[in-house]
Amino acid sequence: MIVCMRYPRGVLLVLALGILIALSPGHAFASNGAGDATPSSSELVESPAEFDGDVISFTGEAIGEMMTRGDMAWLHLNDDAYRDRNVEEGAPLGGYNSGMAVWVPVELTETIATFGDHAHEGDIVRVTGTFNAACPEHGGDMDIHASSLEVVTPGHRVEDPVHPRKLVWAVALSILALGAFLADRLRAHAEDTQGM
């Protein structure tokens, strides 16, 4: 049995409009389950006024270190092409780093174990908080004042082994450099001897 449901034309129109609005540039920013917008750092920097004062959700790799200031701390979360895997691990080049500074209570940061640097891929952290295009509390910095934080994916140590081909080049060029040095010294010595 084929059930054919008939909807009034008005309902279809509203549905179509809803889809159009959802796909329009003004609503291009996704939202999390709680209804908070989840713009990327590039979107925040490109349209700061649009998000100023909004509660947003932001996810990125914890980079560098946590800088504690009393019972609060600064975090930097990168949501760039290297969020899951960095260049040392073989990630393809994907442009500059980009991310957002986060001002967060220290007690929320205790779950963060790894910060990204050359030897580490940092924890991927999701924060929810208020976005400030020019935070009056922090000298006009663009930041997020986070009220919640969770570690989405733990970070890990990154191995960066020596490439054997590079080793061969290093040895060959060292020999060449030594040869050039000796040739220079020998010619200088020969000239000195002739001069005497």
Partner 1 sequence: MLLRPRREDHLVIGKYTGKIVIGIGLLMVVPLLTSIVFAEWDTAVDFVISISLCMAFGYGTQAVCRTDRDLGWSHGLVVASSSWLVATAIGAMPHWLSGHMGSYLDAMFDVMSGYTTTGLYLMQDLDHIAHGLNMWRHLLTFAGGQGIVVIALTFLFKGAVGAYTVYVGEGKDERLLPNVVQTARAIWLVSLVWLAVGAAALAIAGLALGQDPVRAVLHGLWVYMGAWSTGGFAPQSYNTLYYHSLAYELIAIVVMIAGSFNFALHWAVWTGSRREIRRNVETVSFAITLSLTVLIATFALAKAGVYSDAMVLFRKVFYQLASGHTTTGFSTIYSRAFVTQWGPMGMLATTIAMAIGASACSTAGGIKGIRIGVIFKAFVQDVRKSVSPENALISERYHHIRDITLSDGLVRSAMTITIAYVLLYALITLAGVLYGYDFADAVFEGVSAASNTGLSCGVTSPSMPEGMKALYILAMWLGRLEFMSVFALGGYAISIVRGRR
Write out the residues near partner 1 by the rule CB under 8 A.
Answer: 45-48, 63-69, 73-74, 76, 78, 80-82, 86-88, 91, 93-99, 101, 116-118, 121, 133-134, 136, 138-143, 158, 160-163, 166-167, 169-170, 173-174, 176-177, 179-181, 183-184, 187-188, 191
Residue 85 beta carbon to partner 1: minimum distance, rounded to whole angstroms: 10
Token pair 């990204």 is at which residue? 116
Nearer to partner 1, 116 or 129 (CB): 116
Residue 100 beta carbon to partner 1: minimum distance, rounded to whole angstroms: 9
In three-state form (DSSP H/G/I as H, E/B as E, the rest C), the secondary structure along 14-70 is HHHHHHHHHHCHHHCCCECCCCCECCCHHHHHHCHHHHCCCEEEEEEEEECCCEEEC
CA distances (Å), origin 107, targets 11, 29, 68, 83, 145: 49, 30, 11, 24, 14
Nearer to partner 1, 55 or 87 (CB): 87
Token pair 């279809």 is at which residue? 12
Residue 31 beta carbon to partner 1: minimum distance, rounded to whole angstroms: 22
